[in-house]
């Protein structure tokens, strides 16, 4: 191989590297599935199996989630029931625990600043107990601005979000949603 060929290959590699490093990128969540029941858990409190979620660009170019389908409340959601959200980063050997929070859905029904407010408003849930009912949702777009701090290179990867309704320490329902945070190139 001649000296000129080696230099040319190195220049091509250098320009390829510089192009990739300097490319304008952004980070986005990708939701590709519906919310499913946790493995081995019999959900006789809340059925989310027909609730479909997806990711898309919102009306203003921001990241958004799209929600469609039905949410079936099989038992009344009482004021003393808490909602527990756990986030795990998926790994080959064992998923890594990342975050946990717990809140009372009934206490937050009037909180318009909560990330789930658009869902509460669309379902027209105004008070507790939340009745046994099938709630239909079609094409609800939810802004993901509340999670913008997580849209960066450090958080790229696959995640499992587990959502449970609890009565003190007893799980009444258990649902799982898998998402990933990916790096995307901007389109010029």
Contact 182, 28 (CB under 8 A): yes
Ordered DSSP codes for 96-162: EEEEEEEE-TGGGTT-TTSTTHHHHHHHT--SSSBPSEEEEEEEEEEE-GGGGGG-SGGG-EEEEEE
Q: Omega of the bond prior to 129 within 30 degrees of 0, cis? A: yes
**Does 136 score more than 60 pLDDT?**
yes
CA 120, CA 103: separation in Å to the nearest integer? 14
What mean pLDDT comes out for the span 60-83?
87
Query: What confidence score (pLDDT) does residue 94 get?
Result: 92
**What is the DSSP secondary structure assignment for residue 59, as one 8-state letter?**
T
CA 159, CA 143: separation in Å to the nearest integer? 19
Tell me the pLDDT tens digit for each residue of 18-70: 444 445 888 888 886 778 999 999 999 999 988 888 877 655 556 778 888 99
Q: Going by DSSP bridges, is the β-strand pair 36-37/170-185 parallel, antiparallel, or unpaired?
A: antiparallel
**Does 108 score more than 60 pLDDT?**
yes
Residue 27's alpha-carbon distances to 4, 5, 58, 121, 150, in angstroms, are 39, 37, 14, 28, 9
Domains in the chain, CATH or no CATH each: 24-50+69-135+150-185 (2.70.220)
Burial class (CB in 10 A: 0-12, 13-18, 19+), 54: middle
Query: What confidence score (pLDDT) does residue 15 get?
Result: 43
CA 179, CA 159: separation in Å to the nearest integer? 5
Contact 35, 176 (CB under 8 A): yes
């Amino acid at each position: 191989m001649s000296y000129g060929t080696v230099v040319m290959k190195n220049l091509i590699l250098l320009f390829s590297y510089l192009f990739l490093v300097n490319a304008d990128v952004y980070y986005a969540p990708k939701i590709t599935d519906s919310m499913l029941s946790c493995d081995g858990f019999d959900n006789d409190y809340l059925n989310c199996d027909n609730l479909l979620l997806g990711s898309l660009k919102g009306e203003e170019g921001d990241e958004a989630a799209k929600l469609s389908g039905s949410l079936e409340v099989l038992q009344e959601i009482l004021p003393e029931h808490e909602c527990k959200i756990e986030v795990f980063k998926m790994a080959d050997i064992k998923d890594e625990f990342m975050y946990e929070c717990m809140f009372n859905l009934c206490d937050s029904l009037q909180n318009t600043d909560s990330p789930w407010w658009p869902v509460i408003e669309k379902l027209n849930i105004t008070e507790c107990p939340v009745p046994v009912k099938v709630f239909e949702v079609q094409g609800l777009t939810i802004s993901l601005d509340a999670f913008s701090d997580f849209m960066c290179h450090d958080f790229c990867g696959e995640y499992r979000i587990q959502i449970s309704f609890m009565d003190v320490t007893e799980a009444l329902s258990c649902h799982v949603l898998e998402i990933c945070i990916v790096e995307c190139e901007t389109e010029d």
